[in-house]
Amino acid sequence: MSNYVLLLLTTLTRQVKANFVNKTHQTEAVQERFLLTLLRRYCNTELGRKWGLREIRTIDQFRDRVPVLPYSEYQPYTERIFQGESNILTPDPVVYINLTSGSTGSKKLIPVTKRFQNSLRGANLTSMGFLAEALNRRQRQFGKLLLTNSVQLLGQTPGGVKYGATSVGVLRMGKFLYKQLFSHPFETLQPGDSLTRHYVCLLFALRDRTMRGMIANFPMLLLRTASYLETYAEDLIRDLEKGTIANWLDLESGIRSQLEHQWSAYPERAQELRDILHHEGRLTPKRVWSELSFVATARGGTSDFYFQRFPDYFGDTPAFGAVYSSAEATFSIYPDVDTDGSVLAIESGFFEFVPQDQWHAEHPKTLLATEVKIGEKYRILTTNYSGFYRYDIGDVVEVVGFYNKTPLIVFRYRHGGTMSATTEKTTEHHATQVMQALQQEFGVPLEDFCLTLSESIVTPHYLVNIELALGQHLENSQTFLASFERKLQEANTSYAIKRPGNYIPTPRLRILAPGSFAILRQRQLERGVPDSQLKFPHISNDRQFLAGLEVLEEVRLPGNSGD
């Protein structure tokens, strides 16, 4: 990236960020203005006419007239949009359709307009402004990035609109900006084969000693990229030295030709990397890019578990959450690195919060952004330019503070995404908390884990399924299981109440063979989940979820002989 382009971009992002910060002092007014402006623009759509959006003048009228709805109620409309009908949910032309991964449920069709895309771009620019200032405070610099997401479309609708993964649409529609940011050509994102795409992205990025950042949708995917760097170190160094691109890669001839025209030998850089490999025994991002300033990826929810393995690959490199978003909405923007709390994206949507005592109400009473309380958990609702109103995505967030007058939120888990042997409702957040603590207590990094239930329908027990990181050994597995039991009771009061008297039988630990979770991820890919969208569940009520995996050892606590 030229100094001029970098200066221009950072100047722009800081201005956008400053404007956003000013508005966080006026949260109530900004939110009301966003809602009423949207209602005026969308009142003549089919859904706008159905709910009489034209007559709504206040937030209270909006909450009285428009119901809280999940995606299933919008599905008939989105399917008509997919077939080519217009002015259904949005008055603006649909320019792309996000097809969600389905990794945590059924797939969804989300219409994208330029107005909707601009709201996401604004949030991204704001987050970059926060990042640039956060790095500056730490004497680090913003610069070129490595990203390995695919840009392959899944197809076109009968109406001629392109559709695919959310990240594909973001990258394709923002191609000009991202071409300036990446340390590798945009064409490296074209291969459909995941390993091939990662390899060529790494290969081109390795030319750049001063690369500053790495980005992935989820922490697990950053660890995978680091693993590829380690596994294919010799091949990458050879290609750098000779100016070749490995012939064993699954590269279409046209893409290979494009990349070869942009490639040449870098023998000095190859020798640097060979020296690192000789002295360290492997290549890691922090060693090969000594000026690496940050990694950007999702925070909260299931992501937190993976951060414990980051120091091994990234050293003390700060981790930045960027934006908390989904295919349907942008919820919040991170104001700093190494922090979980993110600022509600008050310019990207109108937000309401459903308190826990209203979660089962048919018409829940909601709170506004200025009415939430620190320490409380809420289901978050959004109304935005995707054409969804009071949309219940099912995400549960915790309010952890305020940024001026705007709440700081953390995604905790998906509502309904719980596991119960009876009615104890263990969440992803409970499970992640416990397994993070166990890794620290026993000093044993895990490749991954998943809690499931035994096959007994009447009195199922918890199965704590773990895969140890490569080369690791768990010395005292019974002590590990006993500690799991204590920690889960501390994290989930309902579980603690129901354990005595064997309402829930004693849990068991299953140590899975190396490569087990790689097999599970491959199964997800075969179901059609894009590799850049993989979200691995850490709890599952599907008692066949781990079927066919090799169990090296099943551990029971002393005195636990029954089923």
Which of 178-192, 268-282, 405-419 is predicted most confidently? 268-282
Residue 302 is predicted with a pLDDT of 78
* Confidence band, pLDDT 50/70/90 cuts, at residue 1: very low
* Phi, psi of 154, rounded to the nearest 5 degrees: -90, -25
Which among 489, 487, 482 has a CA at the least distance from the CA of 503?
A: 489
Decide: 221 and 532 in contact? Cβ < 8 Å: yes
Q: How far apart are CA 184 and CA 201, in angstroms?
A: 6
Q: How far apart are CA 243 and CA 237, in angstroms?
A: 10
* Confidence band, pLDDT 50/70/90 cuts, at residue 2: low
Which among 383, 464, 478 has a CA at the least distance from the CA of 430?
A: 464
Q: How far apart are CA 442 and CA 509, in angstroms?
A: 15
Candidate from 25-34, 225-234, 521-530 with smallest mean pLDDT = 521-530
Q: How far apart are CA 421 and CA 441, in angstroms?
A: 27
Q: How far apart are CA 27 and CA 22, in angstroms?
A: 10
Residue 537 is predicted with a pLDDT of 84
- Using the predicted structure, report yes or no on whether residue 506 has a pLDDT greater than 60: yes
Q: How far apart are CA 329 and CA 106, in angstroms?
A: 17
Residue with the bigger pLDDT between 10 and 243: it is 243
Q: How far apart are CA 212 and CA 141, in angstroms?
A: 7
- Using the predicted structure, report yes or no on whether residue 13 has a pLDDT greater than 80: yes
* Phi, psi of 256, rounded to the nearest 5 degrees: -60, -45
* Confidence band, pLDDT 50/70/90 cuts, at residue 560: low
Q: How far apart are CA 206 and CA 444, in angstroms?
A: 31
Residue 536 is predicted with a pLDDT of 77
Residue 559 is predicted with a pLDDT of 67
The DSSP code for 367 is B
The pLDDT > 70 percentage for the chain reads: 97
Question: What angle, rounded to 10 degrees, do the helices at 194-205 and 219-231 form?
Answer: 70
- Tokens 């002295």 label which residue? 279
* Confidence band, pLDDT 50/70/90 cuts, at residue 178: confident
- Mean pLDDT (whole number) for 187-207: 96
- Written as six digits, the tokens of 495 are 């579980």
Q: What is the pLDDT of residues 125-135, one digit of tens each?
A: 999 999 999 99
Decide: 345 and 26 in contact? Cβ < 8 Å: no
Which among 390, 393, 385, 381 has a CA at the least distance from the CA of 95?
A: 385
Q: How far apart are CA 32 and CA 348, in angstroms?
A: 12
Predicted TM-score (pTM) of the model is 0.89
Sheet arrangement for strand 319-320: 145-147, 213-215, 294-296, 319-320
Residue 531 is predicted with a pLDDT of 78
Decide: 501 and 542 in contact? Cβ < 8 Å: no
Q: How far apart are CA 463 and CA 509, in angstroms?
A: 6
Q: What is the pLDDT of residues 356-388, one digit of tens each?
A: 999 999 899 999 999 999 999 999 999 999 999
Candidate from 102-116, 177-191, 390-404 with smallest mean pLDDT = 102-116
Q: How far apart are CA 116 and CA 119, in angstroms?
A: 5
For 310, the 3-state DSSP assignment is: helix
Beta strands 330-333 and 323-325: pairing type? antiparallel
- Using the predicted structure, report yes or no on whether residue 73 has a pLDDT greater than 80: yes
* Residue 7 Cα distances to 11, 109, 126, 476, angstroms: 6, 38, 16, 55
- Mean pLDDT (whole number) for 308-315: 94
- Mean pLDDT (whole number) for 108-113: 94
Q: How far apart are CA 299 and CA 241, in angstroms?
A: 37
Residue with the bigger pLDDT between 422 and 122: it is 122
**β-strand partners of 539:** 451
- Written as six digits, the tokens of 496 are 């603690």
Angle at 305 between CA 303 and CA 310, to 5 degrees: 90
Residue 263 is predicted with a pLDDT of 97
The pLDDT > 90 percentage for the chain reads: 78
**β-strand partners of 110:** 98
- Using the predicted structure, report yes or no on whether residue 409 has a pLDDT greater than 80: yes
Beta strands 508-512 and 462-468: pairing type? parallel
Which of 281-295, 469-483, 498-512 is predicted most confidently? 281-295
Q: How far apart are CA 131 and CA 140, in angstroms?
A: 10
- Mean pLDDT (whole number) for 492-507: 83
Residue 563 is predicted with a pLDDT of 45
Residue 562 is predicted with a pLDDT of 47
What is the average pLDDT value for the chain, to the nearest integer?
92
Side chain identity at 539, as an amino acid letter? I
Q: Exposure of 375 by Cβ count < 10 A (0-12 exposed, 13-18 middle, 19+ buried)?
A: exposed
Residue 561 is predicted with a pLDDT of 47
Side chain identity at 550, as an amino acid letter? E
* Residue 232 Cα distances to 166, 206, 225, 227, 531, angstroms: 29, 13, 11, 9, 19
For 391, the 3-state DSSP assignment is: strand
